[in-house]
Amino acid sequence: MNILKSRVEVDDFTRYASKSFDFDFTGESFFTPWEKPNIPKDFSIGVIHGASGSGKSTLMDEFGKEEDISWDEDRAIVSHFEDPKDAVERLTAVGLGSVPSWMKPYHVLSNGEQFRADMARKLKDGAVIDEFTSVVNRSVAKSASVAISKYVKRNGLKKIVLVTCHDDVLDWLEPDWSFDCNTGELSVGRCLHRPSIRLEIFESNYQLWETFKKHHYLSSDINNSSTCFKAVWEGECIGFSASLALPGKIPPLYDGDTRNKYKESRTVIMPDYQGLGIGVRFSDAIAQHWLDKGYRYFSKTAHIRMGEYRQEKDWWRPTSTNLVDRGKSTNRTMAHAEYNHFPLDRKRICYSHEYVGKVGDKHRDLYELRLKGEK
């Protein structure tokens, strides 16, 4: 095992400090670094963690060098990727889902947004990332860890090593291996289980929208007749959703179902909590609430993550306008859909679905959603 040595000049400052604290100092310091552990040859995410001064950065050098990226102050962060599709995929994948933030230059973003933007550009095979989550609050650390873990595994990325002084991200990352520089212990295998997220959902009022509107990717408007809900996690209000009743005296859908209807108007999760999958589950819970009350529930969105989630789930059924270019639509089906549901967005190709409900235990997950009938 190599022993690292450093030497400095002994002067009045070092003599005063060493004498004051009864520390015997001759000008030399020694440090024994950790040897590279016997990690799996094939892995997706590995984590080196420990307190400051425990040898994390020295051990990190055994795995490679961190990429040094730069940001052009005159260009939006979304303009720094391989192509527009790559930009959208990567930014949403790391939990930076705020489209208004995509349009800003890097230097005006919050610490949490800058961290996510950096991750969006750094994540690739063999990436080595130091000071992981060191500059962000712990809510951002948790949500970003989940988002990054999902992205890495979904895209089959390999041999990414993250270095951090915060042990609290391990459960959320679920790494293939981790090395504790405090103890020298190597843990192999995904023995960690991501903590459950317990949301409490309360009926609220539309004034709460003032807190959330700047984080929505489309209009900041909201109908004051909307039925509104808030999502609370660990005492923090982190989500807002609004539902709007559709006119009752309108022709039934072609399937003959004459139940009254609601549509999803707005759903927003605070930026610090994006990436945990809360938004889609929150939306599911509101949809289930209206279904249980005997209504049909519809939603359209241009948000890729939410739209693709619904495409994959059997409790959301595509409508006739799902992923259709409606700018040129004039046929009877489209006109009926516009009249019967809500005005069609003719500027964007949107995802459009009806919620038909979850059935059976197979749909239970780590999220526990409880709707509280309180104002």
Residue 64 has a pLDDT of 94
**Using one digit for the tens of pLDDT, what is the confidence trace for 154-167?**
899 999 999 999 99
**Using one digit for the tens of pLDDT, what is the confidence trace for 73-82?**
999 999 999 9
Q: What CATH superfamily is the domain 36-188?
A: P-loop containing nucleotide triphosphate hydrolases (3.40.50.300)
Residue 192 has a pLDDT of 63
Pairing of strands 45-49, 160-164: parallel
CA distance 5 to 205: 64
CA nearest to 122, candidates 84, 85, 88, 80: 80
Question: For the chain, which residues make up each domain, given as ranges?
Answer: 1-32, 36-188, 197-372
Residue 341 has a pLDDT of 44
| Bridge partners of residue 203, in order along the sequence | 229
| Bridge partners of residue 318, in order along the sequence | 353
Q: Dump strand ranges (E) for the chain.
A: 4-7, 28-31, 45-49, 128-129, 160-164, 177-180, 185-188, 197-204, 227-233, 236-245, 261-269, 296-301, 316-318, 351-355, 367-372
CA nearest to 34, candidates 173, 185, 138, 153: 185
Residue 333 has a pLDDT of 45
CATH T-level assignment (fold) for domain 197-372? Aminopeptidase (3.40.630)
* Percentage above 70 pLDDT, the chain: 85
Please give the model's pTM, rounded to 2 decimal places. Answer: 0.72
Residue 372 has a pLDDT of 55
Residue 255 has a pLDDT of 64
- Residues of the chain with pLDDT below 50 are 249-251, 331-342, 346, 361-368, 373-375
Residue 348 has a pLDDT of 66
Residue 80 has a pLDDT of 97
